[in-house]
Amino acid sequence: DYVLKQHDILQRDEASIDFNDRGYHFGDGIYEVVRTYNGTPFALEEHLDRFYESAKKLDMDLAISRETLISLINQLISKNQLKTGIVYLQVTRGVQDRNHLYSREISPVLTGYVASLDRKHEVMQNGIDLWLTKDVRWLRCDIKTINLLGNIMAKREAADQDCHEAIMHRDGTVTEGSSSNLFLIKDETLYTHPATNLILNGITRQVVIKLAKQAGLNVVEEAFPIDVLAIADEAFITSTTMEITPVRSIKGDVDASIHVGPLTKKLQEAFNNLIS
């Protein structure tokens, strides 16, 4: 099991993290999760774009070129003989005696690892149950920070209600899932929250919007109220690990029973073609 630490691929037990890492103290860092299919990273360029953008938004300099990063990712995949799985990448601001005020003199700490992860065929076919709850997160959800307390609290709440994923709303306006984006379909039109500061602009979200437009569907990137969930023809979530996963019910702040429908299946087929 090999991991990435700075510019080196090391055995996991050779690598260590400093107690004074700002990621550990403050969640002061960013990350990406990239899917691999048969050893090839999917949408790597888009993930790297977002990685550098997240860093910039937090006044962090990743201090590594794109070419070097791509080379390290590929080494990590091949050293681990990873086939279908994920690459996790993280950069924290660096190591400093605990102080809210960050120094600009410290160097970022890059770490990464891989994990095998099969595609979720069963749920992608049958759908999942969602738990709708309040979005209590901060106002920069567009940054992919490792600080995910709002997300993990919502996810636990959903699991405690026997739901697979939490969907969140701000004052009755649906934002996104705890680790996914939400789409709904009404009258052959796809609706999803626009890529503002209130959601993470998912790479899978961006891919699906492109595929939907290519398939001749209308795509409306507009925020919608929670009551609309109850009258949706179809709904699905998207993420790197869940791909396009249909929704079969929503509980919590609304009650909706939804069929896994033909347009979701059509988009799943288009997605399958893209990754094969």
Residues that bind ligand PMP (CB under 6 A): 33, 151, 176, 179-181, 200, 202-205, 238-240
Kindly state the smallest distance separating residue 8's Cβ from ligand PMP, in Å: 26
Given the residues 83, 120, 144, 213, the one annotated as active site: 144
Strand partners, 231: none
Closer to ligand PMP by CB, 110 or 182: give it: 182
Kindly state the smallest distance separating residue 152's Cβ from ligand PMP, in Å: 10
Can 266 be counted among the known catalytic residues? Answer: no
Closer to ligand PMP by CB, 80 or 204: give it: 204
Kindly state the smallest distance separating residue 187's Cβ from ligand PMP, in Å: 25
Kindly state the smallest distance separating residue 18's Cβ from ligand PMP, in Å: 26
SS (H, E, C) the chain: CEEEECCEEEEHHHCCCCCCEHHHHHCCEEEEEEEEECCEECCHHHHHHHHHHHHHHCCCCCCCCHHHHHHHHHHHHHHCCCCCEEEEEEEECCECCCCCCCCCCCCCEEEEEEEECCCCHHHHHHCEEEEEEECCCCCCCCCCECCCHHHHHHHHHHHHCCCCEEEEEECCEEEEECCCEEEEEECCEEEECCCCCCCCCCHHHHHHHHHHHHCCCEEEECCCEHHHHHHCCEEEEEECCCEEEEEEEEEECCCEECCCCHHHHHHHHHHHHHHC
**CA atoms of 21 and 14, how far apart (whole Å):** 17
Kindly state the smallest distance separating residue 192's Cβ from ligand PMP, in Å: 11
Closer to ligand PMP by CB, 176 or 234: give it: 176
Closer to ligand PMP by CB, 106 or 148: give it: 148
Closer to ligand PMP by CB, 92 or 180: give it: 180
Which token pair is 220?
Answer: 């409306």
* Active-site amino acid positions: 144
